[in-house]
Structure 1
Amino acid sequence: MKLTKLVLVTIATTGAMTLASQMSLAEEADKADSKATVTLEQGETTGPVDPIDPSEPGGETGHEGPLTIDNVTPFEFGTHDISSNSEVYAATAKNPNIQVSDRRGTGQGWTLQVGLSTFVESKDNSVVLKGATLAIPKGTMKTTDGNVSEAPENFGFTLDADGSGSDVLMNADEKKGMGTWADMLDNSNVKLSVPAGNFAGEYSATINWSLVDAPTK
């Protein structure tokens, strides 16, 4: 019985070696190439882009087009008692962010600039918040799942609330910042500084967000 088993194993092994030898001697008889194609182009109609990460309060702009500011979270700083000292107040918004979408497909780059007007009292426009400044921190860049583009560069800065200047929040060099990108901010670091000696009142200012269709920084 043992001898019979040994013979069967030997035959099976020999057959496998013969098949492998035949396969190694086979030659490629023919070959061919085929193509897979796709065309990407800037569409004529490009609807609004929803925020990647919605904030409270919401800041959806509803803008349409190939290069858009999609979301700008309003900065609210609450109600505070007048102090004999200069005070710094943090924004109360949840998940504040600023979002830009570049659907041009050209890799041209872009820049998001920010300016700040004077804080004016709601009932008496002659009363302004003197010496106030707004600090916007450098945030964290976030994009949609699977975006293969390199991220734009983002920055932090402080603006005087007098309408005199502006700064760059995000800058996408050529071949960067394509797709949708949100600058996610830490609300505790979005700060309004108010000097002592200002009048009581309900003040508001306008933040101007300007998207330029080329890198500038």
Structure 2
Amino acid sequence: MRKINYIVTGISALTLAGCLVPTGSVFAANDTKTSVAEVNILPGDINLDKVPDLHFGTINIGEITAGNVDLKLDNNTIDATGPVKDGTNAMDGNADGELTVSDNRGTSAGWALTAQLGDMKDSAGRTLNGSLTLKTADVTTDNPTLNAVNPTAGTTLDFGGGSLPIWKADALATGTNGQGQGKNTALLKKGSETVLHLLKDPTASAGRYQAAITWTLADAPL
């Protein structure tokens, strides 16, 4: 009986000792969650913000009766007493030489700007023959990618002629990043390559001649 008591006591001691032996500390696994940040961008409009007036100075009548005349752009201030721009029709041209298109639609759909030049006429309705070349190296855009048709390439409009593309922005497509989004400005002012071409006219009359330029912005490429 005594021996058995020792064994039982030994087992109890070992059991108690096992309970007191420290085990390794236990930590929770890494816990990862994901949230979201959001912003909503509202679409805007596409607008033809500014179109320039173009003044080509003065010449003596003997120059045009003797031969063709090319006149460089002198300034962007037009007399308001002419046959086109007058007290009842101030037109839309600015005196800063700015031609500006703003595309804030956020669609990369592209656009096209065309221009048409009316008859170059005086207050009596007498006309001149010739053309106008719109060209400048001063073009700034928010998206620097340009279509080949833009004011740096130059476009020549005939007096009383049809409408021609001045500036195009291609729609987003494979291999392109879209064009014309944001603000696009060309400066047609003194020092640019914008030139008025007058054809020889032995019967020309002295006077102030003006021609209307009609600018039209389409909300998609032509």
TM-score (norm 2): 0.65
Shift of 1:30: 2.5
Flag the 1:28–1:107 CA change in 2: closer, same or farther, 3 A. Answer: farther
Shift of 1:32: 2.7
Shift of 1:201: 1.3
Q: Which residue is equivalent to 1:100?
A: 101
Q: Which residue is equivalent to 2:72?
A: 90
Residue 160 of structure 1: which of 146, 158, 161 is its match? 158
Q: What SS does the corresponding residue of 2:127 show, helix, strand or coil?
A: coil
Shift of 1:171: 0.5
Contact between 2:73 and 2:189, CA under 8 Å: does it hold in 1?
Answer: no
Contact between 1:139 and 1:185, CA under 8 Å: does it hold in 2?
Answer: no
Q: What SS does the corresponding residue of 1:205 show, helix, strand or coil?
A: coil
Amino acid at match of 1:210: T
Contact between 1:139 and 1:186, CA under 8 Å: does it hold in 2?
Answer: no
Q: Which residue is equivalent to 1:178?
A: 181
User: 1:39-90 deviations in whole A, cap 9, x for unaligned?
Assistant: 11225xxxxxxxxxxxxxxxxxxxxxx1111111100111221212221111
Amino acid at match of 2:210: S
State which structure, 1 or 2, has the greater radius of gyration over its C-alpha atoms: 2
Shift of 1:108: 1.3
Between the aligned partners of 1:90 and 1:151, the Cα distance in structure 2 is 28
Amino acid at match of 2:215: W
Highest RCO, 1 vs 2 (Cα 8 Å, sep ≥ 6): 2
Between the aligned partners of 2:189 and 2:115, the Cα distance in structure 1 is 18
Residue 212 of structure 1: which of 192, 195, 218 is its match? 218
Amino acid at match of 1:106: T
Between the aligned partners of 1:168 and 1:120, the Cα distance in structure 2 is 24
Q: Which residue is equivalent to 2:132?
A: 134
Flag the 1:103–1:87 CA change in 2: closer, same or farther, 3 A. Answer: same
CA RMSD in angstroms comes to 2.3
Between the aligned partners of 1:71 and 1:132, the Cα distance in structure 2 is 25
Q: Which residue is equivalent to 2:199?
A: 195
Between the aligned partners of 1:39 and 1:150, the Cα distance in structure 2 is 25
Q: Which residue is equivalent to 2:42?
A: 41
TM-score (norm 1): 0.67
Of all paired residues, the percent bearing the same amino acid is: 30
| Contiguous gaps of at least 5 residues in structure 2 | 1-27, 77-95, 172-177
Shift of 1:195: 2.1
Between the aligned partners of 2:144 and 2:36, the Cα distance in structure 1 is 28
Between the aligned partners of 2:206 and 2:181, the Cα distance in structure 1 is 45
Shift of 1:204: 0.3
Number of aligned residue pairs: give it: 161
Shift of 1:128: 0.6
Between the aligned partners of 1:117 and 1:128, the Cα distance in structure 2 is 10
Q: After the TM superposition, which segments of 4 or more aligned residues of structure 1 sit over 4 Å from their partners? A: none
